[in-house]
Amino acid sequence: MAWQDELITITRELVGDVEAPYTFTDNRLEYVLCVAAQFVNTEVDFDTVYTIDVDATTISPDPTSSRDDLFISLVSLKAACILYRASLRTYASSEGVRIKDGMGEIEVKGKFAAFKDMAQSFCEAYQKAKLEYAMGNFASVKAIFNVASGPNINNYDSHRGFYR
């Protein structure tokens, strides 16, 4: 159960879902991580051959036991991208309103615009990391994990005096 623990924690940090009550259950994140792993596994040629079973939510061998940081990083970024894109559909249906009447215009974006920006940033970070790896520059993949901000995400931990 090691990969689930580590990848769920990383993904929660990326999407800002770190305090109870959580937006995403561990089961939901585990499933999304397997879906992300399936995509990543087909897009990137790893030294290790991974077998992903989305229905059984398994990834073998365990990427955390062999410390395949590239696989872990790419899967976590892809999962964050998938989660934010899924959230876009919810907010688009409830907040994507635009009314134009003569000289006036009303546009309600709310969380939709913020989630769109966050989804785009995670998806772009994933594509950049994948490209950097393909070009042989794994060190830059590690640098892609940085402070993220967005709706309902407060990265400054005032109790500890630093950004998460």
More confident residue, 102 or 128: 128
Report the amino acid identity of residue 58. T
Using the predicted structure, report yes or no on whether residue 14 has a pLDDT greater than 60: yes
Beta bridge partners of 52: 59
Q: ∠ at Cα 114 (109, 117), nearest 5°?
A: 120
Taking residues 24-41, report their average pLDDT: 95
CA–CA distance from 32 to each of 37, 51, 136, 163 (Å)?
Answer: 8, 16, 27, 26
The three-class DSSP label of residue 162 is strand
Angstrom distance (rounded) from CA 148 to CA 155: 7
Whole-number average pLDDT of the chain: 77
Using the predicted structure, report yes or no on whether residue 37 has a pLDDT greater than 50: yes
Taking residues 59-86, report their average pLDDT: 91
Residue 27 in contact with residue 93, Cβ under 8 Å? no
Percent of the chain with pLDDT over 70: 63
Q: How many CB atoms lie within 10 A of CB 17?
A: 19
Listed range (32-46, 50-64, 106-120, 144-158) with the worst mean pLDDT: 144-158
